[in-house]
């Protein structure tokens, strides 16, 4: 896995799992790899993956079955969608608006 | 747990380590960084009992490593940067020398050799430097020790081997072990080592987890030079700037930039991280 964004690695791992939930490649109740397996796959310290899993668990996106592993929550899709909408409107959209202003693009041009 | 208290060591009149105080905890893969000659290898050899502290103490699980008690020796492994090309097949070496470590696991050694794409039936003195290194890394991890010290383990590894090494560290280190890796190849190990220890000439500049570092420092990867950066460095895509973290936003820790920041602002960094 190539980590390019400026976000902390554990957050990038969260984002990557959320993206796979939205795309449908991780379905509700699907098991995700253990922290070690996942760490090995992407070449990352298992403790970092643990931090990602803890965050996703706290947000209700995944759940832990003791001794068995981590699974995708039934409402994961809904939760991720809501969170990403909020994120888009609060941090990405204002940047886009700023860029549109900067470049002086008119509404007509945008809708073309 | 390893407790290092006010440790000092010199070679003749040349002091290399002085006032080293830190604690190393289980379940972590520490990255030990420092400029050439600050005493990283010396520290590793002191930790595994090859050398005797001249000042201060090292206490590993309540024991002094220099006493070299067999019970502690079988719980630690030191992987030197310089590995002997013995006249033996790798598998024979593992079978013969693995006996010194109580929990040595021959199957794990074979699995690791598989991961490293190195034939365990090969004679070690006929191996390339990289294959030999991987054989010793495989052996070190197969010893299943609670304390594992590695000196520049990715030196001499080719590009695919570095990824294999990261994979091996994620899969095969024990949950209750203390792993300490000294390295200059921070890019090879950027996402593996956590916490980070930075040694300065005779001092510990920093010993902190990535979580703690990203709480206290903000790494900006933009294209705009901003005011108040502790450190900045131009990159092909823009620049990396390091600021005290004032917003609480967690950024990706760039270890090279961290190292340079720590070196340019020794007092500030030491104060910020309280060690």
Task: Locate A30 and state its tokens.
Answer: 């699907």
Two tokens, residue A99: 């860029």
- Of B188, B207, B226, which marks where a domain is finished? B207
What are the two backbone dihedrals, phi and then psi, of residue B67, each rounded to the nearest 5 degrees?
A: -70, -20
Q: What was the pLDDT predicted at B222?
A: 84
Q: Using CA atoms, how far apart are residues B187 and B255, in angstroms rounded to an integer?
A: 8
pLDDT in tens, chain B (275 residues): 999 999 999 999 998 999 899 999 999 999 999 999 899 999 999 999 999 999 999 999 999 999 999 999 999 999 999 999 999 999 999 999 999 999 999 999 999 999 999 999 999 999 999 999 999 999 999 999 999 999 999 999 999 999 999 999 999 998 899 999 999 999 999 999 999 999 988 789 999 999 999 999 999 998 888 889 999 998 887 899 999 999 999 999 999 999 999 999 999 999 998 75
Burial of B126 (0-12, 13-18, 19+ CB in 10 A): exposed
Q: Which residues of chain A have a CB within 8 Å of the CB of B192?
A: 43-45
Across the interface, of A3, A6, A45, the residue whose CB is closest to B192 is A45
Are residues B260 and B160 located together in one domain of the fold? no
**Model pLDDT, residue B275:** 52
**Domain around B241:** 210-274
- B199, B240: one domain: no
Q: Which of B207, B234, B250 is the last residue of a domain?
A: B207
To the nearest 10 degrees (0 to 180), the angle between helices B106-115 and B90-97 is 150
Per-residue pLDDT reduced to its tens digit, B3-49: 999 999 999 999 899 989 999 999 999 999 999 989 999 999 999 99
The CA distance from B20 to B43, in Å, is: 9
pLDDT digits (tens, 9 = 90+) for B187-199: 999 999 999 999 9
ipTM of the prediction = 0.88
DSSP state letter for B66: G
| Helical ranges in chain A per DSSP H | 9-23, 35-42, 46-58, 76-87, 93-103, 107-111
If phi > 0 it is left, if psi is from -120 to 50 it is alpha, else beta; for residue B10 that is beta
Q: Count Cβ atoms within 10 A of the Cβ of residue B11 and give its class: 0-12 exposed, 13-18 middle, 19 or more buried.
A: exposed
The pTM is what? 0.91
Shortest CA distance from A38: residue in chain B: B170
Question: Does one domain contain both B8 and B95?
Answer: yes
Closest residue, chain B, to A12 (C-alpha):
B252
Residue entry with tokens 């003749």: B12
Residue B40 sits in the same domain as residue B97: yes
Q: Establish whether the linkage from the previous residue to B195 is cis, with ω within 30° of 0.
A: yes
Q: Residue B190: give its domain's CATH number.
A: 3.40.50.300
Count structural domains, chain B.
2
Nearest to A43 among B192, B210, B250 (CB): B192
**B257 in reach of chain A (CB within 8 A):** no
Residues A26-74 have pLDDT tens digits of 999 999 999 999 999 999 999 999 999 999 999 999 999 998 999 999 9
| Backbone phi and psi for residue B71, each to the nearest 5 degrees, phi listed first | -65, -35
Count of CB atoms situated within 10 Å of the CB of B114? 12
Mean pLDDT of chain A: 92
Of A8, A43, A45, the CB nearest to B29: A45
Task: Judge: A37–B163 Cβ closer than 8 Å, yes or no.
Answer: no
> Are residue B217 and residue B195 in the same domain, yes or no?
no
DSSP state of B39: S
Classify residue A58 by burial, with Cβ atoms within 10 Å: 0-12, 13-18, 19+.
exposed
């Amino acid at each position: 896995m190539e980590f390019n964004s400026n976000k902390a690695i554990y957050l990038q791992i969260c984002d990557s799992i959320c993206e796979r939930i939205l795309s449908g490649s991780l379905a509700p109740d699907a098991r995700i790899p253990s922290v070690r397996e996942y760490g090995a796959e992407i070449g990352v310290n298992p403790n970092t993956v643990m931090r990602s899993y803890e965050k996703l668990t706290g947000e209700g996106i995944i759940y832990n079955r003791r001794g068995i592993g981590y699974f995708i929550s039934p409402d994961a899709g809904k939760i991720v969608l809501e969170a990403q909408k909020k994120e888009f409107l609060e941090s990405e959209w204002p940047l886009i608006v700023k860029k549109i202003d900067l470049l002086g693009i008119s509404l007509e041009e945008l809708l073309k | 747990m390893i407790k290092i208290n006010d440790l000092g060591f010199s070679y003749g009149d040349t002091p290399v380590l002085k006032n080293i105080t830190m604690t190393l905890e289980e379940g972590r893969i520490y990255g030990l960084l420092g400029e050439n000659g600050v005493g990283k290898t010396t520290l590793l050899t002191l930790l595994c009992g090859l050398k005797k502290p001249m000042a201060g103490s090292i206490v590993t699980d309540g024991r002094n490593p220099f006493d070299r008690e067999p019970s502690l020796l079988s719980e630690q492994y030191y992987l030197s940067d310089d590995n002997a090309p013995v006249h033996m097949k790798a598998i024979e070496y593992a079978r013969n020398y693995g006996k010194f470590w109580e929990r040595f696991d021959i199957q794990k050694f074979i699995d690791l050799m598989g991961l490293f794409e190195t034939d365990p039936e090969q004679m070690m003195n006929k191996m390339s430097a990289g294959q030999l290194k991987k054989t010793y890394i495989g052996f070190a991890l197969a010893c299943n020790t609670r304390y594992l010290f590695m000196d520049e383990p990715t030196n001499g590894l080719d590009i695919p081997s570095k990824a294999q090494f990261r994979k091996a560290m994620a899969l095969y280190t024990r949950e209750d072990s203390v792993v300490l890796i000294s390295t200059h190849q921070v890019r090879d190990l950027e996402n593996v080592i956590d916490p980070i220890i930075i040694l300065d000439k005779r001092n510990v500049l920093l010993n902190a987890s990535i979580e703690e570092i990203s709480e206290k420092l903000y790494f900006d990867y933009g294209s705009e030079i901003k005011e108040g950066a502790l450190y900045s460095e131009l990159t092909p895509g823009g620049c990396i700037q390091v600021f005290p973290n004032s917003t609480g936003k967690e950024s990706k820790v760039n270890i090279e930039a961290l190292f340079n920041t720590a070196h340019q602002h020794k007092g500030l960094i030491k104060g910020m991280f309280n060690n």
